[in-house]
Structure 1
Amino acid sequence: MNEKMSDEFKSKLEAYEHGHLEGRELAEFEEELEKLEQFQEHLEGDNLEYQIPISGEKQKKILRKSKWKARLQTAMVAVGIFIIVMIVSTIFTAVYYSWGNPDRSEVLANVMDHTIAVTDPYGGFGNTSTNAKPFFRAEMTRDLNKIVGKEHTTVGELKVNFLFSLMSFPEWNYMGKVSQNQPAFIYPGYGDREMSEWDKLEKLPEGTVVSAYLSFNELVETTEVFNRFGEKDLNIVWLAVDTGVEGKDDWDHGVVFDPIGFSEYPIWHDDDMILDSREETKGFLFGKIISEGHSSPSYTIGDDEVLHTQFLKTLKFLGKHEKLAEKLYGGQDLNLHERIEFLEKNGINHYGIVVTGPTKEILKLKEENLISSMVVDEVDLWNW
């Protein structure tokens, strides 16, 4: 039916619906309508004839296939969103922990390193490594070491997780050779030489080395410690510092289980390091790769001025992050402000030290009148 006939048919149909057709014209149009209805029925009959009936089982199969296709599409979308979120989160996490100078990861690592250095006699040996994770998390780990004789031994690992800058509870995992008892110092005025373990040293063979806690019967200046013990055939590992809180409670009978102090080497900070070399190379696109070499300042063993300066600097640094440091300190209050104030007013003095060396050389210290008690920490085969 061409366009002209189509328009003519529409006009007649409209006239038929309004009752405007009459006579022969009406009869011819009704005859035409009947032919069209028969043609339509014929077409519909052909369609029904060629339809293929679908069984119920096949219908279920098609339905299941459609459901799994929908589920797969949903899963793919979810995986895609998760991957995008992971990528974006990883980028923002890296930016968060690398922000600042020094950056956040360095600051948190320094909190761990410096806290252990001033609270653990062997804490100066080792550094913290950082592993940034998605969703603003970071995992920091640090080897726990001991020194017996000339040998440094890894005895465990400290693991700490961070969410942003919030620290989780530290995980202290020990392995291998660790003292079953917890060595401690005895504050001056409480010590009793009968409590010492000199008899244990006497029973050890000559081909051994030990580390030991020595407690003094009076407070001693740093210079005096090095004058008395620095020339002997042993190493001073750590010096316990009187910070004004030790030995003040009668209930502990002067036993100091959680000392604070420093090693025979200074606790250096990032801003102490000396720049030795700097090299810039072209990086990706317009970026630069900067390589720098640093070294620590010169130091002579026993220089109490340097040791004291770096020790107080470390306590003041930890004072800015005291809550984090206290978690590493076993959840106890550090009261760093009060300790620093006491040290600046009264100076730095010692009530004990940790030493290591040949067993028989340590045994000779039994004749030192300054020593009120001695506790053996670790014993090892000769490595001196």
Structure 2
Amino acid sequence: MQEWTKDKEKKVLWKYRFLLTVRIIRIIFILLFIYAIYMMILSIIYDQTNWGRKHEFQMKLALDWTQAGNYGEVSEVTSGKITPFLTQKIEFPLYQTIGKEEQPVGTVKMKKTLFNSFSNYEINYLNPSDSKRFTFYLPEDPRTGKTIKLADTAEVWDTLDKIHEGTVANLAFSTTSFLKPKELLKQLENVDVDVLWMPLYAGELKSIKKVDYMESGKGNVSVETLGLSRARKTDDYHSSSLMNISKETISENEKIMLANMKNLLDHESDTYIDRVLGLSHLEKRYNYLKKNGFQVYGAVVTGPVKELLKLKNYPFIQGAELGKFEYWNWEG
């Protein structure tokens, strides 16, 4: 019988440690292989289905309606990715049209989890000034019917008058009464500008009483609302298109917006619509628009500064605000 020594003990321990290490490494490689196969299958399923494309399209719709002229890019390639725990991460650029050119203003990052209460999105703006939103004021207080007259914005027109004519810019304004979108476009037909967005009245402070709003000491009332934007359309989420706002297309713009609203209401939960997309009171707004038709009370427009300056003489325009300027890129 061989004598047990410390050297033999060390050899046995080293052998078992080596075998244990090999087994652990083998298990790790097997787990990594299984994980790689799982992620490959999950990614293929994600790419072949509409999961990411659908949520990206819906997020862009929400931005179209709420960002007063800003919009997500139109792309056939989704930027969405999915994590092992089925969280979708979607990222795409946010644009603004100034004159005839698209200008990037930020990046939208959306996180869609299995539970909507943990889903969210954020916008990282390229410059702090890009986060500034235009303000639109109701032409009358829906609670009392009292007409609201805004103070003159002489500084806006003075600035436009001093800017070189080889410049284009964005401008927003409110109107002195509610108008049908087609009526507003007709009023603007003699000015060489493009309409990018129009704030909609959808029953705020009347049919929808619990809505965020601002009221100044002078009685000016601004409400959180949706806007009529360039119509975003898709058949299968694999591709989409944007239809510009014009007299010829405005009826189709309205139909597409209503169809998109109905699709969200029919197929998505209230939590997703409200908390993830930020489209509060969507069902009430949809019902109001279906029953009463589209009414707008302002617009975001873009064009040459001297064309924008002509709006000063339009008596139905009030509360004008200037946006960003760019060098001449206009084609009439």
TM bucket (normalised to shorter chain) is 0.7 to 0.9
Alignment of 1:294-305 (within 5 A): 301-305=247-251
Q: Partners in 2 of 1:234 and 1:142 — Cα distance?
A: 28
Contact 2:136 2:298 in 1 (8 A): yes
Contact 2:214 2:222 in 1 (8 A): no
- Pair 1:232 & 2:191 matched: yes
Q: Partners in 2 of 1:294 and 1:373 — Cα distance?
A: 34
Q: Partners in 2 of 1:168 and 1:327 — Cα distance?
A: 8
Instruction: Give the aligned residue type for 1:87.
Output: I
- Pair 1:156 & 2:115 matched: no
Q: Partners in 1 of 2:108 and 2:10 — Cα distance?
A: 58
Match of 2:301? Answer: 355
- Pair 1:221 & 2:167 matched: no
Relative to the length of structure 1, the TM-score reads 0.69
Structure 1 residue 293: Cα displacement: 9.5
Greater per-residue helix proportion: 1
SS at 2:233 equivalent: coil
Q: Partners in 1 of 2:277 and 2:15 — Cα distance?
A: 60
- From 267, 276, 286, the equivalent of 2:232 is 267
Match of 2:133? Answer: 182
Contact 1:183 1:257 in 2 (8 A): no
Instruction: Give the aligned residue type for 1:192.
Output: L
Q: Partners in 2 of 1:61 and 1:203 — Cα distance?
A: 90
Relative to the length of structure 2, the TM-score reads 0.79
- Pair 1:209 & 2:168 matched: yes
Instruction: Give the aligned residue type for 1:140.
Output: I
Q: Partners in 1 of 2:174 and 2:222 — Cα distance?
A: 10
Contact 1:238 1:261 in 2 (8 A): yes
Q: Partners in 2 of 1:90 and 1:270 — Cα distance?
A: 27
CA RMSD of aligned residues (A): 3.3
- From 264, 275, 283, the equivalent of 1:327 is 275
Match of 2:152? Answer: 194
Match of 1:106? Answer: 53
- From 238, 257, 261, the equivalent of 1:311 is 257
Structure 2 residue runs of 5 or longer lacking an equivalent are 141-147
Which of 1 and 2 has greater Rg?
1
Q: Which moved more, 1:232-241 or 1:65-74?
A: 65-74
Q: Deviations over 1:355-379 (max 9, x none)?
A: 0111122112111101011011212
Identity of aligned residues (%): 25
Structure 1 residue 294: Cα displacement: 9.2
Q: Partners in 1 of 2:160 and 2:245 — Cα distance?
A: 34
Instruction: Give the aligned residue type for 1:241.
Output: L
Q: Partners in 1 of 2:243 and 2:137 — Cα distance?
A: 34
Q: Partners in 2 of 1:369 and 1:299 — Cα distance?
A: 23
Structure 1 residue runs of 5 or longer lacking an equivalent are 1-47, 274-291
Alignment of 1:23-34 (within 5 A): none
Contact 2:71 2:96 in 1 (8 A): no
Number of aligned residue pairs: 309
Q: Partners in 1 of 2:246 and 2:226 — Cα distance?
A: 22
Q: Partners in 1 of 2:244 and 2:327 — Cα distance?
A: 33
Q: Classify 1:257/1:346 alpha carbon distance in 2 versus 1 (closer, same or farther; 3 Å).
A: closer
Q: Classify 1:246/1:179 alpha carbon distance in 2 versus 1 (closer, same or farther; 3 Å).
A: farther
SS at 1:172 equivalent: strand
Q: Partners in 2 of 1:177 and 1:380 — Cα distance?
A: 18
- Pair 1:169 & 2:109 matched: no
Structure 1 residue 92: Cα displacement: 4.2
Contact 2:175 2:297 in 1 (8 A): yes
Q: Partners in 1 of 2:239 and 2:214 — Cα distance?
A: 51
Q: Deviations over 1:308-327 (max 9, x none)?
A: 21111122122232432323
Q: Classify 1:119/1:98 alpha carbon distance in 2 versus 1 (closer, same or farther; 3 Å).
A: same
Structure 1 residue 202: Cα displacement: 3.2
Q: Partners in 2 of 1:171 and 1:298 — Cα distance?
A: 26
- From 301, 314, 327, the equivalent of 1:381 is 327
Q: Partners in 1 of 2:261 and 2:137 — Cα distance?
A: 23
Q: Classify 1:342/1:296 alpha carbon distance in 2 versus 1 (closer, same or farther; 3 Å).
A: closer
Q: Which moved more, 1:252-261 or 1:77-86?
A: 252-261
Contact 2:79 2:92 in 1 (8 A): yes
